[in-house]
Chain A
């Protein structure tokens, strides 16, 4: 009996046990300590509503205004007409009826491919360049006036240069993406390198680490969050630029599709394209934000 008291995991039962000496043991000694259940949190309906409601109202408002404005219009499609058309367009996204008439799926994929190639090349060049600029102040002062000069140039101003050099539309579009998406990556990486806390670099100096170790163990992880910000901005820019570039270069792509439908005076399709461009941009951004979140470490 006494041993039961000592082994009892709940200290407060001691008295009860002593009192209950006449009673059967099984009642006194619990088989297991009763797990302490945390009080169940009730679902915060108000919070859920406050999160869901405002965006829904916003969307409803814009569609409502659109519907009101187009009620009497003959040239501008109503939301309902656009929606039924969108369902039709997306019911067969991958048809090919000739070089200038392909499904919306192909158009999106071709645009994404151009963005991927242009952006990928920009990352390959821009990120190492940012590292070097951040690390060596001589290089920084050498290159930064050039960057300041070239960065504000409109993407489309680069297009003729691309056409001249590559003598083809597709590489020219990729070149435009490349040159526009490289700046945010260079600048953010360089700033990240310059902002690496001096404590970490002092650690590297005391340990006398090799340049390779400094880069892989200290610089790269410290710069990664900055770099990913650059990448995010770059992808955003690239997706903005591709539409404009494709309008001018033609071929298959979402930008060209918009221009083609304008020539066909198919305003419904243009509206659909606007939504599609917005949604794809949003998804790209979201994907990169979630990657960035994975690689941000907690400051200590």
Chain B
């Protein structure tokens, strides 16, 4: 398949008060259309930084990022982001939050009724149609995150970027939303890049897992292809030997080979 997102020799250096901080080094990554890629690594390894680079929220110190044959120079609605803390606007209802995105992307081409339909359809997609006219403080954390996903999906983005979208949720809600995400992605054939620190989540969802070494100057340590058939079922997979093998591979990378920063540095 054609390369859809391409990261070429990206370097990221932040200037802080204490001097220069080399966050990312020599990042080379390609993502194919329709692929589900997760970035995994210990906290502080720069996985969110890499996601922000793809989103265009920050620009690399050197190197190039390309999405659909165009250089990524700024954020844009074709690369929708689901933020870790959902980032819904508290003064707007769920409907209005999603509608804001829909209006921006389709406002010029669609009629008003069509925009409303799109908004409601996106909310239905994440099973949040019933709470369309509630404000974010009236719904639970998992529901907020769903609305955040609905907002991103409603834009019909070329790429869905997710920054630890389920990190703040309890285990049961997280599992539930992962299953829903799998279904949605299967239906919409979205290209997804997702940051996570959850090994099970990574193996369950991904086509490929990008494992990152520890920072500073983190880079891609290894890329693991997950060749499990879809649709995937978490209960069946729990006893699948390949699943267990993939899981062990990731754990091995994270805890045996890159468990301590000192070891890597030495």
Give the B interface residue count (CB, 8 A).
27
> Does A208 have its Cβ within 8 Å of any Cβ on chain B?
yes
Chain A count of residues within 8 A CB distance of the other chain: 18
Q: Does B85 contact A (CB under 8 A)?
A: yes
Near A by CB (< 8 A), chain B positions 68-116 give: 74-77, 79-81, 83, 85-92, 100-101, 104-105
B57 contacts which chain A residues (CB < 8 A)?
A: 202, 205-206
> A298 with B90: in contact, given A206-B75, A206-B80, A208-B77 (CB under 8 Å)?
yes
Select one of A208, A222, A298 contacting B137, CB under 8 A: A298
Report the bound CA distance from A205 to B75 in whole Å. 6
- A208-B76 in contact (CB<8A): yes
CB distance from A213 to the nearest CB of B (A): 7
Shortest beta-carbon distance from B169 to chain A in Å: 14
**Residues of A close to B79: CB separation below 8 A:** 206
Please give, as numbers and ranges, the residues of chain A lying within 8 Å of B75 by CB-CB distance.
202, 205-206, 208
Least CB distance, A225 to chain B, in whole angstroms: 10
Query: Known contacts A207-B101, A207-B104, A300-B144: does B77 contact A200 (CB below 8 Å)?
Result: no
Q: Is B123 located at the chain interface by the 8 A CB criterion? A: no
**Dominant SS at the A interface?**
helix
Cβ of B81 and Cβ of A221 under 8 Å apart? no
Q: Contact between A206 and B76 (Cβ–Cβ < 8 Å)? A: yes
B136 near A: Cβ within 8 Å?
A: yes
Q: Is A218 in contact with chain B by the CB < 8 A criterion?
A: yes
Is the CB–CB distance between A300 and B136 below 8 Å? yes
Cβ of B55 within 8 Å of any chain A Cβ, yes or no, is yes
CB within 8 A of B91: which of A203, A209, A297? A297
Q: Is the CB of A202 within 8 A of B87?
A: yes
Query: How does the 8 Å CB contact mask read for B21-46 relative to A, with 1 for contact and 0 for none?
Result: 00000000000000000000000000
Nearest first, the 7 A-B pairs at minimum CB distance are A298-B137, A221-B91, A199-B87, A205-B75, A300-B136, A297-B91, A206-B75
Task: List residues of chain B with CB under 8 Å of any chain A CB.
Answer: 55, 57, 74-77, 79-81, 83, 85-92, 100-101, 104-105, 135-137, 144, 155
